Structure 1
């Protein structure tokens, strides 16, 4: 069984990493309490960055609780494609209980994966040619 860890290589760490996503948003998954922005990367695995403002989550305890939930659900997503992902918090997030936050995030990860698959070209991108016999 694969260990479910969350190394530094799976996090957006530098402001330039965040800027790359904000400048070139290719996937956007909205939700009442969250917004996910994503862009492809060339690393071969997904990375996540978190943005939760004091305006939406007043207390540090609330921000830390939500961040833990996001990291935990991200860690369990083993089938995410190579994307740089930013998770933003919206108002009303502080009022949600942990199971509801977890369910919302799992739904968002599923929707992100589905949206990514829809934007990918199919395996055969060349137009089909009809061969005609010259008998």
Structure 2
């Protein structure tokens, strides 16, 4: 069986890194019950931070499930995320979503984020 870890290099770890994404979010992608904020990075790969608050998702089991599904989506997804730092936030009612709905929402969010990042990159290259 292959190692299924989520290495430190793929995670946003410090408060300063989270603050940078919140302050400089170039991309905002909404899904049902979820929101992803992203800003470009210079690392050459995507990094993800998760914010599932008790205010929006009451039960710890639901917060942990959403975090697990999000990490799994990033790790095993067939998409190719651009070099961005992403913070995924929960909205009210996210805990009531079933696993299939969450997976569909995340897949759609990653696809839209990829498209927005490509448009942004093409626009900045045409200006330069």
Seen in structure 2, the aligned counterparts of structure 1 residues 32 and 123 have a Cα distance that, compared at 3 Å, is closer
What's the counterpart of residue 84 of structure 1? 85
What's the counterpart of residue 72 of structure 2? 72
Question: C-alpha separation between the residues in 1 aligned to 2:98 and 2:127?
Answer: 49
Q: Normalising to structure 1: TM-score of the pair?
A: 0.85
Q: Deviation at 1:126?
A: 7.3
Seen in structure 2, the aligned counterparts of structure 1 residues 21 and 122 have a Cα distance that, compared at 3 Å, is closer
What's the counterpart of residue 34 of structure 1? 34
**Counterpart mapping for 1:5-44 below 5 A:** 5-44=5-44
Question: C-alpha separation between the residues in 1 aligned to 2:58 and 2:103?
Answer: 20
What's the counterpart of residue 133 of structure 1? none
What's the counterpart of residue 104 of structure 1? 105
Q: Normalising to structure 2: TM-score of the pair?
A: 0.89
What's the counterpart of residue 117 of structure 2? 116
Higher relative helix content? 2
Q: Deviation at 1:121?
A: 2.2
Structure 1's unaligned 5+ residue stretches are 128-135
Seen in structure 2, the aligned counterparts of structure 1 residues 98 and 5 have a Cα distance that, compared at 3 Å, is same
Q: How many residue pairs are counted as aligned between the two chains?
A: 126
Q: Which runs of 4+ in 1 moved over 4 A?
A: 2-5
Question: C-alpha separation between the residues in 1 aligned to 2:62 and 2:29?
Answer: 23
Question: C-alpha separation between the residues in 1 aligned to 2:46 and 2:92?
Answer: 26
